[in-house]
């Protein structure tokens, strides 16, 4: 870790550091025995997210164990629609289940209730900033409107989000109305996270890669751009990482058109393309989470590939998506050690 300084923030400001700072998406999660022990105290997942004591504890667990350079608020992307009054529940082994989207359902939402409903999350953020080491960056986040809306058409995820795509094509007026509500609520939510102590924010668009060109611009780029603009209108200079999973060849357009500070890369992003994006702004990523499960040479080769491919510019080392529950803790330790002990391949060279 870069001693007594928020290394992640320096990289997001465009500085190249060696070794690069490191954290993991979903780093507070089921692969940790201490997380499973804490989670058992509250079986209802949404109540778990809103329980400040438990949310603070699980956010801090990977920082205590691994000393990551950033902590990310423990919560869920579905707290935003749930705060608006959209029916959301979590089923064991299935994940989020939402009531299928209708115009009448949107009529019944109450955006004014979101502020009070999300207050426990803000308390969590404030406590985290007070309890984290000074050098640790604190990240807030939200789900991108497209990804959140995907689950609301069929009521759950479907293969390649076919239900959401059909819904957006068939009834774009209702779908646009829902997206617009999510833009407003998400921007307000992110501003409040900054005010509560977040150093930077991440917008997760997990399903960006399933869209065609027109859909990508309408449902991914435009809502993200609006959120970025609204957040920065309220808090100028806000640092925002965009993560459009699966965007691949659209990464440069996403970087140019959304106004994000940095782009998160999934594991499928070719390094040559990623380096091209990195000439525009900092990047974050992009180790395949399955290499972390496999360990051994596969893990070492994956870490080295990211460092050698992207370490010459501003890089926050991360996974290309969230860590999965079956990941051995020892493999995470090995990854961090390899990142932090790697010799600088650009030392003394022009980059």
Residues in contact with 79: Cβ distance below 8 Å, sequence separation at least 6, in sequence order:
46, 49, 50, 118, 121
Query: Is there a catalytic annotation at residue 30?
Result: yes
228, with CB counted inside 10 A (0-12, 13-18, 19+), is: buried
Query: Is there a catalytic annotation at residue 51?
Result: no
Q: Which of 119, 259, 162 is nearest to 201 (CA)?
A: 259
Strands (E), the chain: 70-72, 88-91, 95-98, 137-143, 200-205, 240-244, 262-264, 283-287, 315-319
Token duo for residue 37: 């022990």
- In this structure, the strands spanning 283-287 and 315-319 are parallel
User: Rounded to whole angstroms, what are the CA distances from 132 to 48, 57, 194?
Assistant: 20, 11, 16
Scored b (16 or more CB within 10 A) or e, 293-318 reads bebeeebeebbeebbebbbbbbbbbb
User: Rounded to whole angstroms, what are the CA distances from 228 to 46, 63, 302?
Assistant: 26, 28, 32
- Determine which one of 10, 16, 30, 129 is catalytic: 30
Element spanning 7, H or E: helix 7-12
- Determine which one of 151, 188, 254, 288 is catalytic: 151
Give the single-character DSSP code of 238.
-
What count of Cα atoms within 13 Å lies in the side-chain half-sphere of residue 192? 19
Query: Is there a catalytic annotation at residue 151?
Result: yes
- Determine which one of 6, 35, 50, 76 is catalytic: 76
Scored b (16 or more CB within 10 A) or e, 96-134 reads bbbeebeeebbeebeeeebeebbebbbbbbbbbbeebee
- Determine which one of 6, 26, 127, 192 is catalytic: 26
Number of Cβ atoms within 10 Å of the Cβ of 62: 26
- Determine which one of 10, 16, 39, 177 is catalytic: 39
Q: Which residues are catalytic?
A: 26, 30, 39, 76, 151
């Amino acid at each position: 870790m870069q001693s007594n300084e928020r290394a992640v923030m320096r990289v997001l400001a465009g500085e190249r550091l060696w070794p690069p700072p490191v954290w993991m998406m979903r780093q507070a999660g089921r692969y940790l025995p201490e997380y499973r022990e804490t989670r058992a105290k509250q079986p209802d997942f949404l109540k778990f997210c809103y329980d400040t004591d438990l949310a603070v504890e699980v956010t801090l667990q990977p920082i205590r164990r691994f000393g990551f350079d950033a902590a990310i608020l423990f919560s869920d992307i579905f707290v935003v629609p749930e705060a608006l009054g959209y029916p959301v529940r979590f089923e064991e082994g299935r994940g989020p289940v939402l009531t299928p989207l209708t115009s009448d359902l949107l009529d019944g939402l109450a955006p004014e209730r979101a502020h009070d409903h999300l207050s426990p999350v803000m308390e969590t953020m404030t406590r985290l900033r007070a309890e984290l080491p000074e050098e640790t960056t604190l990240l807030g986040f939200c789900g991108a409107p497209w990804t959140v809306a995907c689950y609301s058409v069929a009521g759950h995820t479907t293969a390649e989000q076919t239900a959401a795509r059909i819904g957006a094509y068939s009834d774009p007026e209702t779908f646009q109305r829902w997206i617009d509500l999510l833009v407003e609520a998400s921007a307000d939510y992110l501003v409040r996270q900054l005010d509560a102590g977040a150093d930077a924010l991440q917008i997760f668009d997990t399903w960006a890669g399933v869209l065609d060109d027109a859909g990508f611009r309408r449902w991914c780029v435009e809502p993200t751009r609006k959120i970025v603009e609204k957040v920065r209108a309220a808090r100028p200079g806000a640092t925002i990482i965009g993560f459009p999973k699966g965007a691949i060849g659209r990464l440069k357009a996403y970087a140019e058109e959304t106004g994000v500070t940095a782009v998160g890369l999934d594991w499928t992003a070719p390094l040559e393309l990623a380096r091209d994006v990195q000439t525009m702004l900092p990047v974050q990523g992009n180790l395949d989470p399955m290499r972390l499960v496999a360990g051994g040479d596969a893990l070492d080769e994956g870490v080295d590939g990211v460092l050698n491919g992207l370490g010459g510019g501003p890089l926050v080392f991360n996974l290309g998506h969230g860590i999965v529950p079956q990941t051995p803790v020892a493999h995470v330790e090995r990854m961090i050690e390899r990142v932090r002990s790697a010799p600088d391949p650009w030392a003394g060279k022009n980059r």
